[in-house]
C-alpha cells in the first residue's frame, strides 16, 4: 500500500491588538462605546483592590484560601463582556473579575471564601454557575448546558473558563469532542497562565500550543494575547457570533500570566523564577489598558486616582456587610441542603432528616446547637 500524507487544516492564528505600551492596531481596534470601556477599566481597578484586600483578610484568618486573579483580568473581562445577559457563564475557581462583571456582590464572594455555600447561591433566573474547584470538572457542565440550548432551539451561548492544567484532564477532551460532534453553542476560554499550580506548561504537555488541542477535534481554534482586553473581546465576540448562528464551538487560548500565587496556600517563590515574574509584570493588563484609554482621550490621571479611591471605599463597605452577615451564619444546619438541587433526591432528604434528628436530640439534651 502506498504511503500518503493526510492533509490537515491546522493553522493557528494569534491575535493581538493592544501592545504593552498601550498602542493599538487601529485596523483591528473594536468599536466599543466609551462608557463600556470605562466600566471595564473601573472593574479592573475594583478587582485588583479586592484581590489585595482578600489576601489581607486571609492572612488575618477572617476568610479561607482563595485563588487571586491579578494579571488575568483582561482575559476574563474581555471575554465576559462579549456575552449577553441571557447567555451562560461557567467559571472554574479564579474568575473573580468575570463574576463581578456579571453582578456578583463582593460580600457574597467573601461569604463563600469564609466557608459558607450561601455565598454562591444564585437565583433561579441566573445564568451563572457557581465556582468549580475540581480542575476541568466544569467543562462538561458547560457542554451539557449548550446541548440543552440546542435541543430547545434557543440562540443562547455558553462561555466556559479553565486553565492550562485543565487541558491535561480527561474531562476537557471528552467535553471538546462531544461539543464538536454535535456542533454545540459553546466557547471554550483557556487562560494559559503557564503554571498548573507548581507544574510549568512544558512538563504537562509537549504541544506547541494549547489551541491545537481544539483542532484535534476539528474545532475552530485560535490563540490570543490574554493580557490584551481588546483582542480577547474580539476573539470571543466572533466565537459567540459563530456559536449563535449554529456554526459550532470555538477554542480560544488566551496567553496570560498569574502575577500572584496559585492560592493563598501556595508559595510561588519556591518554583517560579523571579526574572520570569518581572518580565510578565511589564505586560500587566491594567496599566496597558489604562494607557490606551488615556491616549484615546477617555481617561486622565485624576480619574484613575479618584476611581482607585472609590474602589477602596467600595471594598471597605463590602467587608463591613460581610462581617455583619457572618453573625447569623452557620446557625441553621438545614441550610447546607438548600443550594445543590432544584428538588432534593431521596438520599439527600434522608441526610437532611438525620441532621434534623441529631440537632433535635442535642437540644433535648441541653447541648445547644
Q: Kindly tell me if the per-residue pLDDT of 335 is higher than 60.
A: yes
pTM: 0.91
Q: Kindly tell me if the per-residue pLDDT of 329 is higher than 80.
A: no
Residue 342, pLDDT score: 79
Residue 76, pLDDT score: 98
Residue 28, pLDDT score: 95
pLDDT tier, 361 (very low <50, low <70, confident <90, very high otherwise): confident
Q: Kindly tell me if the per-residue pLDDT of 188 is higher than 80.
A: yes
pLDDT tier, 62 (very low <50, low <70, confident <90, very high otherwise): very high
Active site includes 262?
yes
Alpha-carbon distance values, 279 to 15, 166, 274, 275, 284 (Å): 20, 25, 9, 6, 9
Q: Which three cell numbers stand for residue 157?
A: 451561548
Pairing of strands 199-200, 195-196: antiparallel
Alpha carbons 214 and 144: distance in angstroms, whole number: 18
Q: Kindly tell me if the per-residue pLDDT of 245 is higher than 90.
A: yes
Which of 53, 94, 258, 272 does the annotation list as catalytic?
Answer: 258
Pairing of strands 220-225, 158-163: unpaired
Which of 23, 59, 84, 271 does the annotation list as catalytic?
Answer: 271
Residue 1, pLDDT score: 61
pLDDT tier, 230 (very low <50, low <70, confident <90, very high otherwise): very high
Across the range 243-265, mean pLDDT stands at: 96
Which of 48, 53, 70, 262 does the annotation list as catalytic?
Answer: 262
Across the range 262-285, mean pLDDT stands at: 94
Across the range 72-85, mean pLDDT stands at: 97
pLDDT tier, 293 (very low <50, low <70, confident <90, very high otherwise): very high
Active site includes 271?
yes
Query: Can you name the residues that pair with 90 across neighbouring β-strands?
Result: 160
pLDDT tier, 2 (very low <50, low <70, confident <90, very high otherwise): confident
- What strands, in cross-sheet order, belong to the sheet with 88-90? 13-15, 220-225, 250-255, 186-192, 158-163, 88-90
Give residue-wise pLDDT tens across range 16-31. Answer: 999 998 899 999 999 9
Residue 39, pLDDT score: 98
Indicate the average pLDDT of the chain. 93
Domain boundaries, the chain: 13-330, 333-369
Residue 336, pLDDT score: 77
Residue 340, pLDDT score: 73
Active site includes 202?
no
Residue 364, pLDDT score: 80
Residue 369, pLDDT score: 52
Across the range 329-341, mean pLDDT stands at: 74
Q: Which three cell numbers stand for residue 287?
A: 496599566
**Cβ contact 80:40 at 8 Å:** no
Across the range 151-168, mean pLDDT stands at: 96
Q: Does domain 13-330 have CATH number 1.10.240.10?
A: no
Q: Which percentage of the chain shows pLDDT scores above 90?
A: 82
Residue 330, pLDDT score: 66
- CB within 8 Å of 160: residues ≥ 6 apart: 90, 91, 138, 139, 141, 142, 143, 186, 187, 188, 189
Amino acid at each position: 500500500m502506498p504511503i500518503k500524507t493526510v492533509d490537515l487544516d491546522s493553522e493557528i492564528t494569534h491575535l493581538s491588538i493592544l501592545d504593552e505600551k498601550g498602542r493599538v492596531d487601529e485596523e483591528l481596534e473594536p468599536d466599543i462605546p466609551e462608557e463600556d470601556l470605562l466600566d471595564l477599566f473601573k472593574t479592573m481597578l475594583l478587582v485588583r483592590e479586592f484581590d489585595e484586600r482578600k489576601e489581607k483578610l486571609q492572612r488575618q484568618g477572617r476568610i479561607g484560601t482563595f485563588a487571586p486573579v491579578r494579571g488575568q483580568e483582561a482575559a476574563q473581562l474581555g471575554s465576559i463582556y462579549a456575552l449577553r445577559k441571557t447567555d451562560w457563564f461557567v467559571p472554574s475557581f479564579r474568575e473573580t473579575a468575570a463574576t463581578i462583571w456579571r453582578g456578583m456582590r463582593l460580600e457574597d464572594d467573601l461569604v463563600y471564601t469564609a466557608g459558607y455555600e450561601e455565598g454562591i447561591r444564585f437565583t433561579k433566573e441566573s445564568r451563572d454557575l457557581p465556582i468549580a474547584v475540581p480542575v476541568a470538572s466544569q467543562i462538561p457542565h458547560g457542554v451539557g448546558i449548550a446541548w440543552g440550548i440546542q435541543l430547545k432551539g434557543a440562540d443562547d451561548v455558553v462561555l466556559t473558563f479553565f486553565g492550562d492544567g485543565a487541558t491535561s484532564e480527561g474531562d476537557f477532551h471528552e467535553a471538546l469532542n462531544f461539543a464538536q460532534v454535535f456542533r454545540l453553542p459553546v466557547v471554550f476560554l483557556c487562560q494559559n497562565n503557564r503554571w498548573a499550580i507548581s507544574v510549568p506548561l512544558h512538563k504537562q504537555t509537549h504541544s506547541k500550543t494549547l489551541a491545537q488541542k481544539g483542532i484535534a477535534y476539528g474545532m475552530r481554534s485560535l490563540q490570543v494575547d490574554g493580557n490584551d482586553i481588546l483582542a480577547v473581546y474580539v476573539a470571543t465576540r466572533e466565537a459567540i457570533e459563530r456559536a449563535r448562528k449554529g456554526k459550532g464551538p470555538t477554542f480560544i487560548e488566551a496567553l496570560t500570566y498569574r502575577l500572584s500565587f496559585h492560592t493563598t496556600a501556595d508559595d510561588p517563590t519556591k518554583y517560579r523564577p523571579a526574572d520570569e515574574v518581572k518580565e510578565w509584570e511589564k505586560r500587566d493588563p491594567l496599566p496597558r489598558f489604562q494607557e490606551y484609554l488615556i491616549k484615546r482621550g477617555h481617561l486622565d490621571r485624576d480619574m484613575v486616582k479618584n476611581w482607585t479611591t472609590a474602589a477602596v471605599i467600595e471594598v471597605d463597605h463590602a467587608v463591613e456587610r460581610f462581617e455583619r452577615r457572618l453573625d447569623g451564619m452557620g446557625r441553621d444546619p438545614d441550610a447546607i441542603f438548600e443550594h445543590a438541587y432544584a428538588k432534593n433526591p431521596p438520599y439527600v432528604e434522608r441526610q437532611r432528616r438525620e441532621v434534623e434528628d441529631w440537632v433535635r436530640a442535642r437540644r433535648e439534651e441541653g447541648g445547644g446547637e
